[in-house]
Structure 1
Amino acid sequence: MSVTVSAAAETDAEQILKLQYLCYQSEAELYGDYSIEPLTQSLDALRAELGGGCVLVARLGDEVVGSVRGTVDGDGTAVISGLIVHPRMQRHGLGRRLLGAIEERLAGEWSAKRYRLAIGQRSERTLRLHRKWGYTQTGTERVTGKLTVITLEKEAGPAEAPALATSA
């Protein structure tokens, strides 16, 4: 069975929320803070995100095994968030496929000129991956005593990422 990437439907909200909860456990442990927003987000708040931006899911059959979200502001800056991949599916390029797909969709359908994302400073593997994918650090912000967030950006350009592939 192959993994497909497509737009999320409202009916995917519960699966995305459960996957988000699973995926952010390691982040909460890393920072010693289990009150982080991805672990406390309500189903209604997630449904509102589904209706207000671009949300993609990766499916293995009927199961949501990955997701990513994005919005574009009036200046053309796309804020990408919530990139998650089920732990058993990690290290197979699925995160890169999701990121490439959301970048492509935000540039094409939402006229994004640049992409921005924020990552906790202790999330070294995630920071390394995004830098490898062309993102550069543009700022830092201390959010709490335990958490400093690093902002990364890259310009939207000719499609660098693979097109929305339908199989893994």
Structure 2
Amino acid sequence: MGMSVTISAAETQDAEHILKLQYLCYQSEAELYGDYSIEPLTQSLDSLRAELATGCVLVARLGDEVVASVRGGVDAEGTARIDKLIVHPRMQRHGLGGRLLLAIEERLTLAGAVTSFQLFTGHRSENNLQLYRKHGYARVGTQQVNDRLTLVTLAKDATDPAAYTTSA
């Protein structure tokens, strides 16, 4: 490739790039579930800017291009919630999603007393489920959104040293 991908905190001027990437990345999810009204496809730029101002948002860059992003925050009980892990389609299946997942876990842990990590994905999103299992997440619940979509909630213990290693 010639250039290496760097991961850093997102900046205010990244908002439009993240939103465009989010829209691109969630097209396949919308198609998989037959629902183009999912929140990542309808989120406004102002809403994303608010997340940038209040939450933890990381981006991965290839040169100047934002090619991946992830968001997260820690609630009062110490649960770090990870959301919207997105990787440009041309960059998928090269380990970037795993690198971002580990980076957000580390960043959230440094920000406060994290006891567990939690995230969710759709029940048919097999690549997502595989990535999360590889990084130590286990299914802890489901929520049926409609007749086409069930959200799968996955979690892992943040106090376990093995939580920060991946299994092959």
TM above 0.5: yes
Q: Please list every run of 5 or more consecutive structure 2 residues that lacks an aligned counterpart in the other structure.
A: none
Does the aligned pair in 2 maintain the 1:101–1:161 contact within 8 Å?
no
**Residue 102 of structure 1, aligned match among 85, 91, 104:** 104
**1:165 matched to which residue of 2?**
none
**Residue 155 of structure 2, aligned match among 130, 148, 153:** 153
**1:67 matched to which residue of 2?**
69
Residue 43 of structure 1: how far off its partner (Å) = 0.2
Does the aligned pair in 2 maintain the 1:104–1:161 contact within 8 Å?
no
TM-score normalised according to structure 1 size = 0.93
TM-score normalised according to structure 2 size = 0.93
3-state DSSP of counterpart to 1:44 = helix
Report % sequence identity: 69
**Residue 40 of structure 1, aligned match among 28, 39, 42:** 42
Q: Larger RCO: Structure 1 or Structure 2 (Cα < 8 Å, ≥ 6 residues apart)? A: 1
**1:24 matched to which residue of 2?**
26
| Cα separation, 2, equivalents of 1:34 and 1:109 | 34
Aligned length: 162
Residues 126-165 of structure 1 aligned to structure 2 (within 5 Å): 126-157=128-159, 158=161, 160-161=164-165
Q: Please list every run of 5 or more consecutive structure 1 residues that lacks an aligned counterpart in the other structure.
A: 163-168
The ranges of structure 1 where at least 4 consecutive aligned residues each deviate by more than 3 angstroms after the TM superposition are none
Does the aligned pair in 1 maintain the 2:80–2:108 contact within 8 Å?
yes
One-letter amino acid matched to 1:78: A
RMSD over aligned CA atoms reads: 1.3
| Cα separation, 2, equivalents of 1:45 and 1:83 | 17
3-state DSSP of counterpart to 1:29 = helix
Residue 112 of structure 1: how far off its partner (Å) = 1.6
Does the aligned pair in 2 maintain the 1:17–1:46 contact within 8 Å?
yes
One-letter amino acid matched to 1:125: N
Residue 161 of structure 1: how far off its partner (Å) = 4.8
